[in-house]
Structure 1
Amino acid sequence: MKKMLSTLLLVIALSSSCYATNYRPDYLAQPLADIQQLAQNNNPEAQYYLAKRYSFGQGGVKQSDRKALKWVKKSAEQGYVFAQDWLAVMYKSGKGTMQSNQKALEWHKKSFPKLKKMADQGNKKAQNTLGLIYDTGSPIGKKSYKEAVKWYKKSAKQGLADAQFNLANMYFNGNGVKKSYKKAIIWYRKAAEQGFDRGQFNLGNMYFSGNGVKKSYKKAVIWYRKAAEQGLADAQINLGYMYEKGLGLKKSHAKAIEFYQKAAKQGNKIAERNLNILRKKK
Structure 2
Amino acid sequence: MKTVKQILCGCLIFLAACSAFAGNKEAGKALYDQKKYSQALSRFLKADASRDAWVQNRLGNMYLLGKGVKKDPKIAFQWYTKSAAQNYPDAYSNLGRMYESGDYVGQDYQKALAYYEKGEELGSGEAVNNLGFIYEKGVGVKQDQKKSIDYYLKAAGMGNTSALCNLGQKYMYGDGVPENYESARKLFDAGSDHGDACCLKGLADLYAEGLGVQRDPAGAFKLYEKAAQTGSEDAQRKLALAYEHGLGVKKNASEAFRWYQEAAENGSSKAMERMARVYFHGQFGQKQDEAKAKMWLQRAEKQRHADRMPPPDVADTLIMRMFEEQ
**TM-score in same-fold range (> 0.5):** yes
Q: Look up the equivalent residue of 2:117 and give its one-letter code.
A: K
Equivalent position to 2:296, from 250, 256, 259: 259
2:100 to 50, 55, 60: 55
Matched ranges for 1:65-214 at <5 A: 65-100=109-144, 104=147, 108=150, 112=153, 115-116=156-157, 118=158, 123=159, 125-126=160-161, 128-137=162-171, 141-214=177-250
Distance in 2, Cα, partners of 1:191 & 1:164: 6
Residues 168/47 of structure 1: CA separation in 2 closer, same or farther (3 Å cut): same
Per-residue CA deviations over 1:142-169 (Å, capped at 9, x if unaligned) read: 4432132123223323322222222212
Structure 1 counterpart of 2:282, from 237, 246, 249: 246
How much has 1:63 moved relative to structure 2? 4.7
Partner of 2:62: 29
Contact 1:23–1:194 (8 Å) recurs in 2: no
Contact 1:168/1:185, CA 8 A, preserved across alignment: yes
TM-score between the two structures when normalised by the length of structure 2? 0.64
More helix by share: 2
Q: Flag structure 1 segments of 5+ consecutive residues without an equivalent.
A: 1-21
**Superposed displacement of residue 189, structure 1:** 0.9
Q: Is the 8 A contact 1:188 1:200 kept in 2?
A: yes
Query: Contact 1:134 / 1:143 at 8 angstroms: preserved in 2?
Result: no
Asked if the contact 2:218/2:249 (under 8 Å) is kept, the reply is yes
Cα pair 2:261 2:271 within 8 Å, conserved:
yes
| Distance change in 2, residues 1:177/1:129 (3 Å) | farther
* 1:5 paired residue number: none
Aligned length: 249
Cα separation, 1, equivalents of 2:115 and 2:167: 22
Is the contact made by 1:82 and 1:111 (CA closer than 8 Å) also made in structure 2? no
Runs of 4+ in 1 over 6 A off after TM superposition: 22-27
Larger deviation, residues 236-245 vs 172-181: 172-181
Identity over the aligned pairs, expressed in percent? 27
CA distance in 2, matches of 1:235, 1:219: 14
RMSD between aligned alpha carbons?
A: 3.4
- Partners of 2:234 and 2:125 in 1: CA distance: 26
SS at match of 1:29: helix
SS in 2 for 1:97: coil
Contact preservation (8 Å) 1:23, 1:195 = no
Residues 176, 54 of structure 1: CA spacing in aligned structure 2 closer, same or farther, 3 A cutoff? farther
* Contact 2:164 2:190 (8 Å CA) reproduced: no
Separation in structure 2 between the aligned mates of residue 23 and residue 69 of structure 1, nearest angstrom? 34
Matching residue's letter, 2:96: A
Maintained 8 Å contact 1:182/1:213: yes
Match of 1:43 in 2: 88
Distance apart, 1:46 and its partner CA: 1.0
Q: Distance in 2 between matches of 1:32 and 1:77?
A: 21
The C-alpha deviation readout for 1:207-252, integer Å capped at 9, x for no partner, is 2233222333332211111122233322111111011111112222
AA in 1 matched with 2:234: R
User: Are 1:185 and 1:212, in contact at CA under 8 Å, matched by a contact in 2?
Assistant: yes
- The Cα shift of 1:96 comes to 1.3
C-alpha distance 252-141 of structure 1, shift in aligned 2 (>3 A):
closer
